[in-house]
Structure 1
Amino acid sequence: MKILIRKYGLHLQAMFMLLAMLVCAVVLTSCEKDDLDIQQNYPFEVQVMPVPKDVSNGQTVEIRVTIQRSGNFSDANYYIRYFQFDGQGALRYYSEPPYMPNDLCLLPQTQFRLYYTSQSTVSQSFDIWISDNFGNEKQISFQFNSRD
């Protein structure tokens, strides 16, 4: 046994020293919180179920919308705004008051229904923009022919 220690003692000391240096290197070079790269900005797509082509004055059309996110960040907020450029009508979220054109409003869910009520006897066209708090934005256009 003493012969083995004399023969391999120097090698064992070198291995222990190398192991101690490796442990120190790992401990001293650990990640700092500021160095972590956490993705928050996820692009999204907007899906809209088909809507009728024709609408009459006073008729309400349901528009089913789903925001499909490419990733999930819990602090992502989505907003909606709309602008009607032909005809007249009112767009609202469920039973909320109608949106004012070009006002930015928070969407509480990523799957929701909008209700457009025609207030015109001519063709009607409007766009909605859905955006997030990271600058991503999608535009959806709607056009209804008058049934009157």
Structure 2
Amino acid sequence: MKKMIETLFIVTFMLVGMICVTACSDKLDVQQVYEFDLATLPVQTTIVKGEEAEIRCQLVRSGEYQDTKYFIRYFQPTGKGELRMEDGTVLLPNDLYPLPEETFRLYYKSLDTDQQKIDIYILDSFGQVVQKSFAFNNEEEDEKEDTE
């Protein structure tokens, strides 16, 4: 009887040990992909040909993975204009540019007298995309002076 209890104890101890060893994993579960959004301060909606509108932007991330890279591109479905970054880089439509900082400024210069719209896309290195649109109505110089 004593030998049977010892054998049962050893078998139970070995089963518990095997369960503990197989339940553990030496692989870390590192999350790399986090949702993000682009926050902007209010942007003017009227613009005169030749005038610049400032767009202040900040990436808002739900988490941070150090190796994540962010990129910007834009498309202009209506009107004509020029978008540049604060370092002076003029962005070409549909070309992809790296974003060096989480907080940045864009400057849109109107080159048209019609209504203008730009779509800004922020992409991360994992394929996630956030899109923001900005519309600018043309304001003639005479109208601007009359309202002041």
What TM bracket, shorter-length normalisation? Answer: 0.7 to 0.9
Task: Specify the SS of the correspondent of 1:82.
Answer: strand
Alignment-derived partner of residue 97 in structure 1: 89
Q: Which runs of 5+ in 2 are unaligned?
A: 141-148
Which amino acid in structure 2 is aligned with residue 93 of structure 1? M
Alignment correspondent of 2:128: 136
Partners of 1:93 and 1:50 lie apart in 2 by 18
- Could you tell me which residue of structure 2 aligns to residue 79 of structure 1? 71
Alignment-derived partner of residue 26 in structure 2: 32
Q: 1:139 corresponds to which letter in structure 2?
A: Q
Equivalent of residue 52 in structure 1, options 44, 57, 78 = 44
Write the distance in 2 (CA, Å) between the matches of 1:19 and 1:111: 58
Question: Using the alignment, how far apart are the partners of 2:122 and 2:41 within structure 1?
Answer: 16
2-structure distance, mates of 1:83, 1:21: 63
Structure 2 partner of 1:6:
none
- State the 1:26 CA deviation: 5.3
Structure 1 unmatched ranges of 5 or more: 1-10
- Structure 1 residue identity aligned to 2:30: I
Normalising by structure 1, we get a TM-score of 0.79
Q: Could you say which residue in structure 1 is the equivalent of 2:58? A: 66
Please give the secondary structure, in 2, of the residue aligned with 1:122: coil
Give 2:143's aligned residue: none
Q: Structure 2 length normalisation: TM-score?
A: 0.79
Aligned pairs, number:
140
Inter-partner Cα distance in structure 2 for 1:76 and 1:20: 45
